[in-house]
Amino acid sequence: MAEPKERPVTLRYIADELGLHVSTVSRVLNGRADARGRAASGDTADRIRRLAAELGYQPDPHGAGLRTGRSGLVGVLVPRLSDLVLATIYEGVDEAAAERGITTITAGTLDDDPTRRHRTRMLLARRVDGLVFGDARLDDAFLDELAADGVRFVLANRRSGEHPSVTPDDALGGRLAARHLLDLGHTRVAVIAGEPYASTGADRTAGFLAHCRERGVDVPPDSVVHSSFDTAGGRAAAERLLAGPHRPTAIFAVNDFAAIGALGAARDHGLRVGADLAVMGYNDTPLAAELPIPLTSVAVPMHEIGRRALEMLAVLLRGRSAESERLTPELRPRASTSGDPGTTGRAGSLAD
């Protein structure tokens, strides 16, 4: 099985074996579809392909990349790889990439400017063909610099300026959330708004507030608090809201994990979620439906966002330009806002 010579299987090897020239083999195996036909007769082409398959030939990306200047690599930058939302988006990116024979490299930036610049440099040093940013900021000098340098990239999930992006329609999502809560009769509503530099939180909040205004419901400024996008941040924010002067009857968190944190804070205050306090999240994480008290959320096609982002990048890499896309979110009402505790009434009784 294993040859004693252990000769690596390269184009030249195949060519020598068949008495052909390496360029002929190259065109048949890796050439562009139009050049493939006139490179060799159907017969020789078959012999080449057969031997290549038998030997398990795989083109060496170093050789190819050196010659073409392309690497077939794209970099994906996200705040954290352990953030479920971004991880799911990344899965979409990677899936679409694999379909195109391109490989993704991901890097975590912690939403921190120096590390993200550093990580981007590393990716560029690897000669990636393009980038997907999942951590764009509303005001993002770095992205502007990159664009000026001619680096090709698209934004996923968060938008920034006029850079091409694929995001949920967050303003609409915010409105859906507001409508849901106001339809339930709430008038004292509050928002856990996420980080101010992220378009996601900002747009969701803006949409929510706009709808409230249209319905004549006043949301005092101190009922909109910023937070990190994780449970700890959500808990702290909810704590502030519940201890403040305008204790709300309903809280909209722009992120499911922040909402889960709010759930904990509610429990600490002896409030029954769904009955005493409505809480809803955003993104419809798989966890949301499975929580002991299922969480109302706004579903966003995260996987699809990733896919589209990569497809858009692929278009850019072909030299064409692309339009930003907004994907439509959907409300998923559940027990955490309905007051319906489900099959039993005991859910909140632990706090008694």
The stretches of 69-130 forming alpha helices (DSSP H) are 84-99, 113-125
Q: Which helix (H) or strand (E) holds 44?
A: helix 42-55
Contacts of 345 (CB under 8 A, 6+ apart): none
User: Which residue type occupies 67?
Assistant: R
23 binds DNA, rule: CB under 7 A: yes
Q: Residue 38 binds which entry of a second copy, DNA, none, with Cβ cut-offs from 5 to 8 Å by kind?
A: DNA
Quick one: which of 43, 162, 290, 323 contacts a second copy (CB under 8 A)?
290
- Which range in 5-13, 105-113, 199-207, 316-324 contacts DNA by CB under 7 A? 5-13
Does residue 21 touch DNA according to CB under 7 A?
Answer: yes
Show the tokens assigned to 282. 């955003």
Q: Segment 64-83, which members bind DNA (CB under 7 A)?
A: 64, 66-68
Q: Is 44 in the site for DNA (CB under 7 A)?
A: yes
Q: At what angle do helices 256-268 and 231-243 cross, to 10 degrees?
A: 50
Count of residues that interact with a second copy, criterion CB under 8 A: 68
Q: Does 243 bind a second copy (CB under 8 A)?
A: no
Q: If binding means CB under 7 A, how many residues of this protein chain bind DNA?
A: 34
Tokens 């997907």 belong to 132
- Which of 22, 105, 287, 331 is close enough to bind DNA by CB under 7 A? 22
**259 neighbors 281 (Cβ within 8 angstroms):** yes
101 vs 245 by CB, closer to DNA: 101
Helix (H) / strand (E) containing 29? helix 22-30
Q: Tell which positions 69-98 bind a second copy, by CB under 8 A.
A: 71, 80-82, 84, 87-88, 90-91, 94, 98
Which amino acid appears at position 128 of this protein? V
Query: Rounded distance, CA 352 to CA 339, Å?
Result: 17
Residues 116, 121, 126, 129: is their CA dihedral positive or negative?
Answer: positive
Report whether 76 contacts 105 (CB < 8 A).
Answer: yes
Taking the complex as a whole, the smallest distance from the CB of residue 88 to DNA amounts, in Å, to 33
Interface with DNA by CB under 7 A: which residues?
A: 8, 10-12, 15, 19-24, 26-27, 29-32, 38-45, 57, 59-60, 62-64, 66-68
Interface with a second copy by CB under 8 A: which residues?
A: 58-63, 65-66, 71, 80-82, 84, 87-88, 90-91, 94, 98, 103-108, 119, 121-122, 124-127, 230-232, 235, 257, 260-261, 263-264, 266-275, 286-287, 290-294, 341-347, 349-351
